[in-house]
Amino acid sequence: MKKIVLVYSGGLDTSVCIPLVREEYGFDHVITVTVDVGQPEEDIRQAEERARRLGAEHYTIDAKQLFVEYFCWPAVRANGDYEGYPLSTSIARPLIALKAVEKARELGATAFGHGCTGKGNDQFRIEYILRTLMPEAEIIAPMREGRRLPDGRREPWTRSEEIDYANAHGLDIPQTKERIWSVDENLWGRSIEGGRLEEPDYAPPEEIFKWTRGPGNCLPTPQTITIEFEQGVPVALDGQRLDPVSLVTTLNRIAGQHGVGRIDIMEDRMLGLKVRENYECPAAVTLLTAHRALEALVCTQGELKFKAMVDREWGELAYKGLWFDPLKEDLEAFIARVQERVNGVVHLRLFQGTASVIGRNSPNALYSADLASFDSKTFDQSESLGIVKTHGLQSRMYFHLRQSGRLTGQPVPPALLGASVPKPTTQETPS
Amino acid sequence: MKKIVLVYSGGLDTSVCIPLVREEYGFDHVITVTVDVGQPEEDIRQAEERARRLGAEHYTIDAKQLFVEYFCWPAVRANGDYEGYPLSTSIARPLIALKAVEKARELGATAFGHGCTGKGNDQFRIEYILRTLMPEAEIIAPMREGRRLPDGRREPWTRSEEIDYANAHGLDIPQTKERIWSVDENLWGRSIEGGRLEEPDYAPPEEIFKWTRGPGNCLPTPQTITIEFEQGVPVALDGQRLDPVSLVTTLNRIAGQHGVGRIDIMEDRMLGLKVRENYECPAAVTLLTAHRALEALVCTQGELKFKAMVDREWGELAYKGLWFDPLKEDLEAFIARVQERVNGVVHLRLFQGTASVIGRNSPNALYSADLASFDSKTFDQSESLGIVKTHGLQSRMYFHLRQSGRLTGQPVPPALLGASVPKPTTQETPS
Amino acid sequence: MKKIVLVYSGGLDTSVCIPLVREEYGFDHVITVTVDVGQPEEDIRQAEERARRLGAEHYTIDAKQLFVEYFCWPAVRANGDYEGYPLSTSIARPLIALKAVEKARELGATAFGHGCTGKGNDQFRIEYILRTLMPEAEIIAPMREGRRLPDGRREPWTRSEEIDYANAHGLDIPQTKERIWSVDENLWGRSIEGGRLEEPDYAPPEEIFKWTRGPGNCLPTPQTITIEFEQGVPVALDGQRLDPVSLVTTLNRIAGQHGVGRIDIMEDRMLGLKVRENYECPAAVTLLTAHRALEALVCTQGELKFKAMVDREWGELAYKGLWFDPLKEDLEAFIARVQERVNGVVHLRLFQGTASVIGRNSPNALYSADLASFDSKTFDQSESLGIVKTHGLQSRMYFHLRQSGRLTGQPVPPALLGASVPKPTTQETPS
Amino acid sequence: MKKIVLVYSGGLDTSVCIPLVREEYGFDHVITVTVDVGQPEEDIRQAEERARRLGAEHYTIDAKQLFVEYFCWPAVRANGDYEGYPLSTSIARPLIALKAVEKARELGATAFGHGCTGKGNDQFRIEYILRTLMPEAEIIAPMREGRRLPDGRREPWTRSEEIDYANAHGLDIPQTKERIWSVDENLWGRSIEGGRLEEPDYAPPEEIFKWTRGPGNCLPTPQTITIEFEQGVPVALDGQRLDPVSLVTTLNRIAGQHGVGRIDIMEDRMLGLKVRENYECPAAVTLLTAHRALEALVCTQGELKFKAMVDREWGELAYKGLWFDPLKEDLEAFIARVQERVNGVVHLRLFQGTASVIGRNSPNALYSADLASFDSKTFDQSESLGIVKTHGLQSRMYFHLRQSGRLTGQPVPPALLGASVPKPTTQETPS
C-alpha cells in the first residue's frame, strides 16, 4: 500500500493532485494534511469536504499558536522583512511542511505531494523542510511537472483543464473564468497577487483588500494603543496580557479598522523574477514598527547599525524558507543577546493607514535625561574641542591631497565655493 | 584690524557672539553671514536687523538652489537616512560653512566664529568644513567655551544671562522664560527639539508642527501625485518640470496639507547621547519614498541589498558632516552608476499622513510581464527541479550533523515535530 | 548546414564533443575555438592537432594581453579573492566565452557547445556569457547530458568510454587509468584538483606543483623586488616598465622560484559542494599582497573597512562568472574612485614561500611623519581628554544597566575581577 | 590619606609618575600594580625594584592564564584581527586595567594613574575599563597632561627631562639617547614601534626581532605540527593536551624558530593617525591560520561570508578596548553558536616564515567525499540545466537594457568582442 501525504490547502491545484497522485503516480492511499495557520475557516471547511469527496484521508491540524510563538515572534525579534515584505507567507511554509512530516511519520508514509508550481517560492520552502527532515522520502509536485499529453510530453495545466479533471473525480466546481487574483492568508498577513496586480504600474482596486479599510473608510478618530514587549516579544496590548494568537488576532482587527498594514512593493522572487506584490498585514506592521522603536531606545548606535545587517540576512533566509540553516541559528543567537534588553512599552497612534510611534519607555533605555537635555551642566562642553579637532582627520588629510593637484577633479564644485581654493602655501598638517 | 566671520542665524546664541568676539576675543571687525537655505523669511530679516544693531557687517546669501541641487538631490539618490531621519539639518551645515569660507576669502578674514554648543552635532559639521578648507584659520566657539567668571573659570551661559548681555549691547529682547523648544528649518525639513520633547515617552503636542497638518485636520480627500525621476533626481511633479527649489517647496506644501512627513525617533548623536527627535519633512519623505520604489523596479536583488549598505554608510557620513570624505566620494561613484538607470515615474497617494506608492514605471524596469505572470508558458517549470534539489544543500548537510547527536540541542523544537526526529539509519547524503 | 562553435581545450572531454555534436546533435559543421590565456603551448598544439584529426574547423585565439588588462588588472584593483582563491580560472572563463561568441558571429554560427560537466562552476560562467550575448543561441553540453544508453536513458561518461569513443573517431589516446588529477592553467594561476586532492586532510604531493618550488628547493637567498602601481594597476617591476603580459610572466617565474603563491583551501563551489583545492599563483599572490599594502597607505580607515565588503562582493560575482552584472559595474565604479589614489611603490622580499612587504611609498599617503612620530609636539595631547571621556559612552551606560541587576548574567566574569562588582550607590551617569 | 593605584610597567614613563602623583597631584600613598601577561621576567623584576626605590607599595599580579583563556581564546574564535594585526597589545589592556580595579577595591583606593600619552590607543583602552567599573574614580594621566612649566603652562616631557626627574627621586638611569624604538610584549605578541620604524618605507632592521628568526636563520627543515580545537579553542598540540599558557608559550617558541609570525603593516590608530607597525606573533599567527582553515571546513558558505563581517566588527571593538560593549557581547553570541561545531584538527607545515595548512579534519565537516568527487554518479548532472538557465537572470535582463541603447556606454569593450553587439531583433526575454 503506497501512502503519500499531500500538503493540502483545499484549493483547485491541490485538489487536482488527489486523484492525480493516484492515477499517474501510483499512490493508492492519499493522506491530505491541512495546517491551520489562520486562514479563513471557510477554506478549512472546504478542504475537509473536498478531501472527503475525493476519497482522501484528511487531517486538519491547528497550528495557530505554534505559528505565532515559533515563527511570528522570532520574526518580530529580527524585525523580519524582505524588501518591505513582513514575510507572512514565507514563515508559514516551514511549519506547514513540518506538520506534514509529523503526520507522515505517524502514519508511516514515505512520500509527499504538494501543489506548488515551478515558478514560485513555495516549492523551495516546502521541499527544503521535507528534504531536510526526511531526505529519503519521495517528493511529487504534479503542478510543476505539468499535465501529461498523449505523446508523453508535459505542459502546464490550464485552469479549465484542472476544473474538468477535478469534476470528473467527484467535485462540482463551476467552469468560471480564472479568478483574477489569488490569495494567501494567515495570522501574519494576507497576500493578493496575480492578473493585473502583477503589473508595477497598476493601481490595485479597493476590492482586493479584506482586512484593512481603505482611504475614506477608516475609523474616524485616532486610537492610541500601547504594546508591551518582553525580550523583544509582544506580551500585552493596552496593559492587558494576551496569549500570542489573541494578541495578533486582536491587533489585526484594530489596526485593520484604521487601515494600517497595506504594503505595495516590487519583490524579487527566488528565481530572479521581479513581481509586484500587495499585502495587508495590520498586526505585523504595527508590531514591527513598535519593536523597532523600542530597539532604538535600548540598543547602542553600533548595535543598531550592525543588527540592521543581521536582520536583513535573517529576512533573506526566512524568505528562502531555510528555517534550519546554521547561519539563521547564528544570527538568532546574536538577536537573542540583544533582545534580552528589549523590554518596555511603545505607544502608537493608529489612524488612517498609519501606525505612528508617539512614545516609548524601557527600564533598559540607553537614555539619560540629564546628559541629553539642553539645560544640563554636567557635561563640560569645552572638553569636546579635542573631539572636534580630530573629527575627520584623515578626511582632511585627503582633502589636502586633492587640493594639491595630484588628484584629478575639483576638490569643491565651483558653485559651492566661488573663489577657487588656493593651494596650501605651507606644509602644515591639519590638526 | 582683526576680522572674523561669524556663522550667524540671528538667534540669541549667535547674537550674543557678536559683542562677545569683540570684547573677549579681540576682534574689532565682525562679519556676520546668514545663509538662506529655506528658513523663514522672518528669521532672515531678524538676523539682518540684529546684526545691524550689534554693529556687524552683515551678509545674507541665498543658497537655496545650491542646497537642493548639491545637497538634497544627492541625499535622494543615496536614500539619505540616519536612523529614520532624512538628514535635513545635517546636510545644510556644510553649505552654510562653505559660504562662510567663501565670504572670509573674499573679505580677507582668517578667523571664524559660530554659536554651537559643545554637546551637539553642528560643531562637528561646521568646523569640519572650516578646518578642511582653511586649516590655518582660527575658530572661536564662545557658547562652547562658556561664560567667563570673575575667577577665570567658565560655565555655560543661561538664557537669562544671554538676554541681559545681548540687551546691554543694543538688542531689546524680553526676559521671557526659555522657549520650550528650539527649531531648525530649511527646505529639506524642520526639526523641533528641546524641553520635554527630549523625553522618549512624551507625546509631542500638536502645536510644535508648522508644515504638516495633524490627525483630523488634513485635507479630506486623497490626492494622487506623480513624480518623475531622471538618474535618481526628481525633475517633474504631475508631469510638469519644475526647478529644484520649486519642486521641493511645492511638495512641502502639498504633502504637508496631507500630514505627510512627521518623524518621531530616538536618535544617537555623535557624542553618544540618545535623544528623542521630532521632524517634519513632507517633501523629503515623499521623494525618498518614491525614489526607493523606483529603485526596487530597476535594480537587481543584489544591487538593492548592497546599495542598502552603501546608503547607510553615506547617511552616517552625511550625518557627521564629512562632506568631502573620500569614502563619501567612493560611495557616490557607486551610487551614480546605479542612478544612471533610475529614470521613470512613481505615482503616490497622499492622504492622512501617508504617502503610499500605488504605481511605478520605468523604461529600465527589470521586469518582464511575460516571465512574471502566472499564465505564462514560456518558463519550463519542471526545470526548476534541479534548483529545488540543490536549495539549501549545505544547510541540509548541517542538519544531518545536528541530528547525528554530535552537536548539542534539539535539531527541531519538539512542539514543532511531535515525534522525535529519528537518527538517520543510512549514510545517505542529502541530494 | 548546421554550424556550432565548440569551446575547445583539446582535452579528452572537449575532444569527445567534436564527433558527438555531429552524431547525436546533428551539427555537420563543427568550429573549435581555443583561446590562449596562457596555458602551456603544448596544450595549444595538442588542441590544434586533435581538432584537425577530428575534422573540425579550428581557431586558436591569442587573448593573453586582453586577459591581463581586462580581467587580471581589475582583479588586482578589487583585491580579487574568493575564500582565499585569487580567481584565476574564474576570470578566464568569461573571456573564453566572449571569444567564442565573437567567432560565432563572424562565421554565422548560432549554436555553442562546451565540455563542462553538470557539477562544476564553469558551466555557469561560460553559459552566462553565451546566454547574455546571444540569448537566442542553442547551447549543447554533451558531458553534462551524459552518454545515451540504448534504452534512451543517459549516464555520465567514464574515462574509458570516452577514450574508446574518441579513438573510434580518429584519435589515438592510450587506455591509461584516469589521470590522478586535472589541471587548469592560465597566466593568473594554475589549479590542480581531483582524486585524493579533493580530500580535506590529504597532504598534496610535491609533484602536483609546476610553477612553484617547494620547501627545501627554493632559491637560497632572499630577493627584494619593487612593484609600482598606477591607479591600482601594476606597471613596473624593479623600476622597469613592462607590458602587462611580460609583467605577469616575469613575476610568475621570479616569485615561483622563491616558492611564493601556493594556496591550499577548502572552497565552496557554486552548487554548494565544499571541495579542497590546490592552486599556485605566484604573480597573483605577489601583486595582490603589494596592492593591499599600498591601499593601506593611501586609504582612510573607513575606506579600508568598506572596501573590504566591496571587494568580497566583487570576488563572489567574479567567482560566479557574472562579468556583466550591474552590481559588478557599480562596485567597480566605487573601486575606480579609490584606485585613483593607489599610486606608488611597494617593496617585497621574496623568500622561501613568502612575499613579505618591507616598505611602501606613495605621493598620496595619508601619513604624516610629523603627527605620527612619538617626538612631535604638534598635537596637544591634553586635548584628547575629552575624546577619552566620551569613548564608549553608550557602552558604559549599558554596563551600568547590567550591574543594576536588571539583566541576567555576570557583568564581569568573577575570575577577572575578584571582588564582585558593587552595585552603584548613586544615580550618577558615566561621563 | 589619599591613595592612588598606578598602572605600572616599570618603564621610564610610569616610573616618573610615582613621584609625580605625590608632588603634583597630592597623593601620599602610591600603589603600583604590574600585571604579568607574559612580558619578560626582567621587566617584572625591574618594575618591582624601581617601585621599591621610589617608595611605592608594589604588587605583581600573575594574570597569564586569565589572559590566554579570557582574551586570547576569544580572539581566536573571532579570528581576531584589525587591519592585519592580531590585537596582541589591545586585548591585554583591559585585563591590566581590571586587575588595577581589583586591587583598588581591595585596598580602598579611589584614584588611578597611568603613563599613557595623549596620542596613542592605550589611554582609551585603560580608561574605558576604569570609567566603566569605577565611574566615580579620579583618573590621572601625567604624561598626557605634560610637564608643568613655571608659568603654569604644560608641555610634553622630553626623555632627558624624565630621566633627570626620576633620578632626582632615587633611580639611577643613565642619560642615554632616547631608545630608538619601544617594545610591548605579552603572550599574544610583541610590538616594536617608534623612531624610523614609523616610516612606511623603512625596511626594519633584523635586530628589532626577538621571538622570530629571520630569513637565512630559521631552522633548516620543515616541521609539521597538528593543532586540535574544541569549540574553536586550541586544546592540544601534536596530540598532547596542554594548558592554555603552555600551548601558547610552546607555540611561540616552535613557530618563532621557523620565523613564523612577523607582521609589517600600516595601521590606523584610534585618533586617525596612520602608523607603520612591526609585530611578531608566532603563536597567534599560527593559531589564527589553523582556526580559519577549520572554520572553512565546517561552516557554510553563507556563514563564512557573514562571520567575516562579524569578526571584523569584533576586531575593531577589541582594538578600541571596548571589552564590555554590548555589541561585542552580541557578536560573541553569534560566534559561540558557530564555534560549537569548530572541533577537529589542522595540520600545518612551519618553514621559513610560513605556517602552511596542509590538511584539516573535523567530525563536523560540511564535506561529502561522495558528492565532491569527480567520479560520483550520485548527482544527476543534467538537473543542473535549470540552475544554469536561471543563473544571472536579472543580470541578463540588465544587459538587454544596456544593449538597447537606453543606457550610456558600451555594453562590452570593443577589444573583448570585435564585432559590435547587434541590437536584439526580437522582444525575447532571456531564459
Q: Which of B22, B50, B77, B93 is catalytic?
A: B93
The model's confidence at residue D372, banded by pLDDT at 50, 70 and 90, is low
Residue C418 lies in a domain: yes
Percent of chain B with pLDDT over 90: 79
Does pLDDT of D122 surpass 50? yes
- Give the closest of A366, A379, A397 to C431, CB-based: A379
Q: Nearest 5°: CA angle at A320, between A317 and A326?
A: 40
* Residue A12 counted as an annotated binding residue: yes
B408 close to D (CB below 8 A): yes
How far apart CA B111 and CA B137 sit, in angstroms, is: 5
CA-nearest residue to B303 within chain C is C327
A4, A111 Cβ separation under 8 angstroms: yes
D136 close to C (CB below 8 A): yes
Chain B residues in contact with A402 (beta carbon < 8 A): 324
CA-nearest residue to D341 within chain B is B407
Residue C329 lies in a domain: no
Convert the pLDDT of each residue in C196-255 to its tens digit: 898 999 999 999 999 999 998 999 999 999 999 999 999 999 999 999 999 999 999 999
Residues D362 and D424 in one domain: no
Does pLDDT of D125 surpass 80? yes
How crowded is the C-beta side of A287, counted as CA atoms within 13 Å?
35
Residues B350 and B407 in one domain: no
Average pLDDT over residues D305-327: 97
Cβ-based contacts under 8 A for chains C and D: 333
* Residue D164 counted as an annotated binding residue: no
B141 close to C (CB below 8 A): no
B369 close to D (CB below 8 A): no
Residue B308 lies in a domain: no
Predicted confidence at residue B179, as pLDDT, reads 67
Residues A231 and A352 in one domain: yes
Convert the pLDDT of each residue in B260-294 to its tens digit: 999 999 999 999 999 999 999 999 999 999 999 99
Q: Is B13 tagged catalytic? A: yes
Predicted complex: ipTM over 0.95: no
Residue C376 lies in a domain: no
Chain B residues in contact with C370 (beta carbon < 8 A): none
* Domain's final residue, options A161, A178, A195: A178
C49 close to A (CB below 8 A): no
* Bridge partner list, D226: D347
Predicted confidence at residue B428, as pLDDT, reads 40
B56, B47 Cβ separation under 8 angstroms: no
How far apart CA A393 and CA C301 sit, in angstroms, is: 11
Continuous segment of H or E residues that includes residue A112: strand A111-113
C contact test, residue of B327, B397, B401 with most C CBs within 10 A: B327
Chain A residues in contact with D337 (beta carbon < 8 A): 329-330, 332-333
Residues A239 and A292 in one domain: yes
A383 close to C (CB below 8 A): yes
D contact test, residue of A83, A275, A327, A393 with most D CBs within 10 A: A327
How far apart CA C265 and CA C278 sit, in angstroms, is: 7
- Neighbour count for residue C42 (Cβ, 10 Å): 9
Residue D55 lies in a domain: yes
Amino acid, res. C348: L
Residue A241 lies in a domain: yes
- Give the closest of B272, B336, B393 to C333, CB-based: B336
Which subunits count as partners of chain A given 3+ CB pairs below 8 Å?
A: B, C, D
D161 close to C (CB below 8 A): no
Residues A144 and A46 in one domain: yes
B47, B34 Cβ separation under 8 angstroms: yes
Q: Coil, strand or helix: which one is B152? A: coil
pLDDT tens for the 431 residues of chain A, in order: 799 999 999 999 999 999 999 999 999 999 999 999 999 999 999 999 999 999 999 999 999 999 999 999 999 999 999 999 999 999 999 999 999 999 999 999 999 999 999 989 999 999 999 999 999 999 999 999 999 999 988 888 999 999 999 999 999 998 876 667 899 999 999 999 988 898 999 999 999 999 999 998 999 999 999 999 999 999 999 999 999 999 999 999 999 999 999 999 999 999 998 999 999 999 999 999 999 999 999 999 999 999 999 999 999 999 999 999 999 999 999 999 999 999 999 999 999 999 999 999 999 999 877 665 434 445 678 888 888 988 998 999 888 888 887 777 778 888 888 754 444 444 444 44
Predicted confidence at residue A245, as pLDDT, reads 98
Predicted confidence at residue D144, as pLDDT, reads 93
CA-nearest residue to A368 within chain C is C429
Predicted confidence at residue C426, as pLDDT, reads 40
D contact test, residue of C352, C403, C427 with most D CBs within 10 A: C352
Predicted confidence at residue C371, as pLDDT, reads 61
Does pLDDT of D424 surpass 60? no
The model's confidence at residue D371, banded by pLDDT at 50, 70 and 90, is low
Closest CA to D264 of B246, C359, C345: C359
Residues B193 and B253 in one domain: yes
The helix, strand and coil proportions of chain B, stated in percent and rounded to the nearest 5, come to 40, 20, 40
How far apart CA C239 and CA C345 sit, in angstroms, is: 9
State the nearest Cα–Cα gap between C332 and chain A, in angstroms. 18
How far apart CA A243 and CA A248 sit, in angstroms, is: 9
CATH number, domain of D62, equals: 3.40.50.620
Give residues 309 to 368 of D whose Cβ lies within 8 Å of B.
Answer: 340-341, 363-364, 366, 368
Cβ-based contacts under 8 A for chains B and D: 68
Residues A47 and A109 in one domain: yes
How far apart CA C278 and CA C273 sit, in angstroms, is: 16
CA-nearest residue to A395 within chain C is C300
Predicted confidence at residue D252, as pLDDT, reads 98
Convert the pLDDT of each residue in B181-222 to its tens digit: 899 999 999 999 988 898 999 999 999 999 999 998 999 999
Structure-model confidence comparison of residues A173 and D247, the more confident one: D247
Q: Is B93 tagged catalytic? A: yes
- Neighbour count for residue B204 (Cβ, 10 Å): 18
How far apart CA D103 and CA D113 sit, in angstroms, is: 13
Residues ≥6 apart with Cβ < 8 Å to D374: C119, C182, C194, C195, C198
Closest CA to A273 of B300, C308, B406: B300
* Residue D80 counted as an annotated binding residue: no
Residues B80 and B97 in one domain: yes
Residues A135 and A18 in one domain: yes
Residues A279 and A195 in one domain: yes
The model's confidence at residue D178, banded by pLDDT at 50, 70 and 90, is low
Residue D422 lies in a domain: yes
Cβ-based contacts under 8 A for chains A and B: 334
- The count of structural domains within chain C is 3
Continuous segment of H or E residues that includes residue C170: none
CA-nearest residue to B118 within chain C is C386
- Give the closest of A273, A302, A326 to D303, CB-based: A326
How far apart CA C314 and CA C145 sit, in angstroms, is: 31
* Residue D367 counted as an annotated binding residue: no
Instruction: Please report the DSSP string for A356-385 in residue order.
Output: EEEEEE-TT----HHHHSTT--SS-GGGHH
Residue A315 lies in a domain: no
> Which residue stretches of chain C have pLDDT < 50?
373-377, 420-431
* Domain's final residue, options B178, B210, B225: B178
- Give the closest of C340, C368, C398 to A397, CB-based: C368
- Is B334 close to C333, i.e. CB distance below 8 A? yes
The model's confidence at residue D180, banded by pLDDT at 50, 70 and 90, is confident
A196, A202 Cβ separation under 8 angstroms: yes
Predicted confidence at residue A376, as pLDDT, reads 43
- Is A334 close to D330, i.e. CB distance below 8 A? yes
The model's confidence at residue D409, banded by pLDDT at 50, 70 and 90, is confident
- Is B407 close to D301, i.e. CB distance below 8 A? no
CATH number, domain of A289, equals: 3.90.1260.10
- Is A333 close to D336, i.e. CB distance below 8 A? yes
- Is D330 close to A306, i.e. CB distance below 8 A? yes
State the nearest Cα–Cα gap between A419 and chain B, in angstroms. 6
Residues D46 and D192 in one domain: no
- Give the closest of A363, A366, A371 to C406, CB-based: A363
Predicted confidence at residue A34, as pLDDT, reads 98
Q: Given CA atoms A431, B4, B8, B12 in this order, what sign does their dihedral have?
A: positive
Residue C393: domain span: 381-431
- Which cell is B203 given? 507625546
How far apart CA A77 and CA A314 sit, in angstroms, is: 10
Residues A388 and A363 in one domain: no
